[in-house]
């Protein structure tokens, strides 16, 4: 391994020194010649999916990092217990984000829903605490310093009458998760495979070969700890009952657990994608006349293993969900546990009566953005794009512009694919979690995605779309996350509206030929560095900024009493 890493290091340095280029039109697995400072660990990183990492999940609740991610973690925990949970202990590290936000931003709600086997859009989620009690599951939450390295770390201990397990899981942004430990044994489970865990009594590696003969899978791994061990099998489907029976009959096997995938797009062995950076995408498209949405469709087809038509159909379905959410928001929403009431209806009235300053299509974008944010705050169904906290920006921009321009839904779906591809480039190099990089990773990123989408709607060129995204991202460096009373409403609504305004401005600048100066890939790298330098108090911990003002604390007290 040392020799391999040394060779890669030398190749990378030579590539940078001699300005080596990338081959055109090649499917790549690992980027060893990147001019930017990619980590060697990228070699084992799975490629982001537009529908896993960027546009989605379809969910309820204020925060994808808290609600949707915790629900997915809860569902994986439920599978680890074969669906039978009597007692559960949930521990949050005081040095992370969840210790101060797990109640108000819906982590508890999501976990409980996951323990009950629900989906992230289940209408019962708002009553999850009551439902879990009625299901007879005893839950306890504890703030414990256990040295968590990630701000969104869950340590969960579960038991029933015959079984007990512990897992440590991370929420990595936008609803994405990773289980990093089961029963003190390191693992990496992201919910993108059918995971079969074959628990064994010894450490004889020969059993690995015997299991491989019984079942063909994507990968097999012997995971060993001090007190326990298991074979982790990643596959595109679970082994059937006959295979499981044959494996369980082996004398070394103590039991089998099956963890179903929680992501809409599965991974597979040796996935190849045509590009993973903006620079590679531009080189891939050299000499071609494809539009950016077509390149996005090509990428996701390769990543997901589905046809290009299926990619567009999936995005068409997303557009319909977004459209319905906006319609519901404008019609009016109500929910007790929120700061802001129904405001989008009043905005529409003033807009229709010509009592607002002339903002052109921007006013419609603001209306749609506000409506979407109100639906989110009322526990309605939204699409995280790329997060729930920024869920108003992309649909507000795209649907608002499209309706102002009289465009069809198909054009909106194509624009969302463009935004999704920009999101892929960001996901591969950075994060969508405000807990890691502030609100620039949420509303800021959504603005960069929306800028490219708007250029697409205006029939601008591929280079103009990329330039618009670069300029929009440059404008949001350092945006902090400081929600008032831990509700994702204030200043989140205003930041979504600002993100839409920024996206529209940068789209027009790009269409007019303004110079982006800094290439998109370099902007993403710089943005990530800035985001991770933001103080912890300003990264969704409710410890700084507007969160720490006197009025914010008074609002928090009132909402706590009401709850």
Residue 5 has pLDDT above 50, yes or no: no
The reported pLDDT for the residue numbered 33 is 32
Question: What's the DSSP call for residue 546?
Answer: G
Which has the closest alpha carbon to 496: 375, 369, 377, 335? Answer: 369
The reported pLDDT for the residue numbered 205 is 77
The reported pLDDT for the residue numbered 14 is 40
CB crowding 298-328: b at 16 or more within 10 Å, else e: bbbbbbbeeeeeebbebbeebbebbbebbeb
User: Is 182:166 a contact under the CB 8 Å cutoff?
Assistant: yes
Which structure tokens are listed for 303? 């990543």
Residue 1 has pLDDT above 80, yes or no: no
What digits encode the pLDDT tens for the residues 178-227?
Answer: 999 999 999 999 999 999 999 999 777 788 899 999 999 999 999 988 88
Mean per-residue pLDDT for 292-299?
A: 98
What proportion of the chain, given as a percentage, has pLDDT over 70? 92
Residue 25 has pLDDT above 50, yes or no: no
555 three-class SS: helix
What digits encode the pLDDT tens for the residues 46-81?
Answer: 799 999 999 999 999 999 999 999 999 999 999 999
User: Is 481:539 a contact under the CB 8 Å cutoff?
Assistant: yes
Which has the closest alpha carbon to 262: 193, 311, 197? Answer: 193
User: Is 41:526 a contact under the CB 8 Å cutoff?
Assistant: no
User: Is 323:400 a contact under the CB 8 Å cutoff?
Assistant: no
The reported pLDDT for the residue numbered 138 is 98
Distance of alpha carbon 244 from alpha carbon 255, whole angstroms = 10
Cis check for the bond before 73: say yes or no (omega within 30 of 0): no
Which has the closest alpha carbon to 143: 184, 181, 92? Answer: 92
Range scoring the smallest mean pLDDT among 8-12, 127-131, 200-204, 363-367: 8-12
Distance of alpha carbon 563 from alpha carbon 557, whole angstroms = 10
* Average pLDDT over the chain, rounded to an integer: 91
Mean per-residue pLDDT for 339-352?
A: 97
The reported pLDDT for the residue numbered 563 is 54
Residue 552: exposed, middle, or buried by beta-carbon count in 10 A (0-12, 13-18, 19+)? buried
Q: In degrees to the nearest 10, what's the CA dihedral of 184, 190, 192, 198?
A: 0
Q: What share of the chain is helix, strand, coil (3-state, %, to 5)?
A: 50, 15, 35
Residue 10 has pLDDT above 50, yes or no: no
Mean per-residue pLDDT for 12-38?
A: 36
Range scoring the smallest mean pLDDT among 26-30, 81-85, 425-429: 26-30
The DSSP element (H or E) to which 383 belongs, if any, is: strand 381-383
Cis check for the bond before 57: say yes or no (omega within 30 of 0): yes
Mean per-residue pLDDT for 460-475?
A: 98
Residue 11 has pLDDT above 70, yes or no: no
What digits encode the pLDDT tens for the residues 227-251?
Answer: 889 999 999 999 999 999 999 999 9
Chain centroid to CA 250: 40
Distance of alpha carbon 68 from alpha carbon 72, whole angstroms = 6
Distance of alpha carbon 450 from alpha carbon 299, whole angstroms = 19
Pairing of strands 87-92, 138-143: parallel
302 three-class SS: helix
Domains of the chain: 62-259 (3.30.1330.90), 278-562 (1.10.4100)
Residue 16 has pLDDT above 90, yes or no: no
For the chain, count helices (H), then strands (E): 20, 12
- Contacting residues for 299 by C-beta, under 8 A, at least 6 apart: 50, 273, 274, 275, 281, 421, 424
User: Is 324:540 a contact under the CB 8 Å cutoff?
Assistant: no
Range scoring the smallest mean pLDDT among 222-226, 308-312, 354-358: 222-226
- Contacting residues for 137 by C-beta, under 8 A, at least 6 apart: 85, 86, 87, 88, 115
Residue 2 has pLDDT above 70, yes or no: no
- Confidence class of residue 7 from pLDDT cuts 50, 70 and 90? very low
Q: Tokens 């003033």 sit at which residue?
A: 350
User: Is 157:89 a contact under the CB 8 Å cutoff?
Assistant: yes
The reported pLDDT for the residue numbered 123 is 95
Chain centroid to CA 334: 27
First to last CA, the chain: 55
Cis check for the bond before 251: say yes or no (omega within 30 of 0): no
């Amino acid at each position: 391994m040392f020799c391999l890493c040394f060779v890669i290091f030398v190749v990378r340095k030579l590539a940078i020194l001699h300005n080596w280029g990338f081959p055109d039109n090649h499917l790549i697995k690992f980027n060893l010649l990147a001019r930017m400072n990619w980590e060697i660990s990228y070699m084992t990183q799975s490629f982001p999916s537009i529908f896993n990492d960027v546009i989605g999940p379809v969910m309820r609740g204020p925060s994808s990092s808290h609600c949707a991610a915790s629900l997915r973690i809860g569902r994986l925990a439920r599978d680890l217990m074969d669906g039978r949970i009597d007692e559960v202990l949930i521990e949050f590290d005081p040095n992370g984000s969840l210790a101060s936000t797990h109640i108000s931003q819906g982590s508890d709600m999501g976990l409980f829903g996951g323990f009950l086997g629900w989906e992230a859009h289940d209408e019962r989620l708002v009553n999850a605490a009551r439902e879990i009690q009625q299901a007879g599951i005893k839950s306890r939450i504890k703030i414990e310093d256990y040295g968590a390295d990630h701000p969104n770390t869950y340590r969960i201990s579960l038991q029933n009458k015959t079984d007990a397990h512990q897992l440590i899981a991370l929420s990595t942004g936008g609803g994405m998760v990773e289980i990093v430990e089961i029963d003190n044994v390191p693992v990496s489970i992201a919910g993108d495979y059918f995971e079969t865990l074959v628990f064994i009594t010894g450490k004889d590696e020969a059993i690995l070969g015997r299991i491989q003969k019984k079942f063909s899978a994507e990968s097999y791994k012997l995971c060993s700890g001090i007190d326990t061990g298991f074979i982790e099998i990643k596959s595109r489907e679970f082994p059937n009952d006959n295979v499981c029976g044959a494996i369980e009959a082996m004398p070394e096997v103590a039991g089998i657990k099956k963890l179903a995938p929680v992501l809409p797009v599965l991974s597979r062995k040796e996935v190849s994608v045509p590009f993973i950076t903006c620079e590679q995408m531009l080189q891939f498209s050299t000499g071609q006349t494809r539009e950016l949405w077509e390149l996005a469709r090509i990428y996701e087809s390769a990543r997901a293993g589905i046809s290009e038509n299926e990619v567009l159909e999936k995005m068409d379905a997303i557009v319909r969900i977004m459209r319905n959410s906006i319609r519901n928001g404008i019609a009016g929403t109500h929910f007790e546990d929120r700061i802001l009431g129904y405001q989008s209806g009043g905005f529409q009235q003033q807009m229709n009566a010509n009592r607002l300053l002339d903002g052109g299509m921007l006013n419609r974008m603001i209306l749609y953005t506000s409506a979407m944010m109100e639906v989110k705050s009322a526990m309605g169904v939204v699409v995280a794009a790329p997060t729930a906290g920024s869920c108003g920006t992309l649909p507000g921009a795209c649907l608002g512009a499209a309706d102002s321009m009289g465009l069809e839904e198909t054009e909106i779906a194509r624009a969302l694919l463009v935004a999704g591809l920009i999101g892929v480039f960001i996901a591969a190099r950075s994060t969508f979690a405000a807990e890691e990089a502030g609100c620039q990773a949420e509303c800021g990123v959504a603005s960069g995605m929306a800028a490219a989408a708007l250029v697409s709607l205006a029939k601008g060129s591929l280079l103009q779309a990329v330039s618009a995204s670069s300029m929009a991202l440059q404008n949001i460096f350092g945006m902090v996350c400081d929600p008032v009373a831990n509700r994702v409403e204030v200043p989140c609504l205003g930041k979504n509206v600002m993100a839409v305004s920024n996206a529209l401005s940068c789209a027009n600048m790009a269409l007019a030929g303004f110079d982006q100066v800094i290439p998109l890939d370099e902007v993403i790298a710089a943005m990530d560095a800035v985001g991770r330098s933001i103080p912890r108090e300003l990264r969704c911990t409710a410890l700084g900024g507007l969160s720490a003002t006197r009025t914010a604390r008074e609002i928090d007290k009132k909402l706590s009493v009401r709850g």
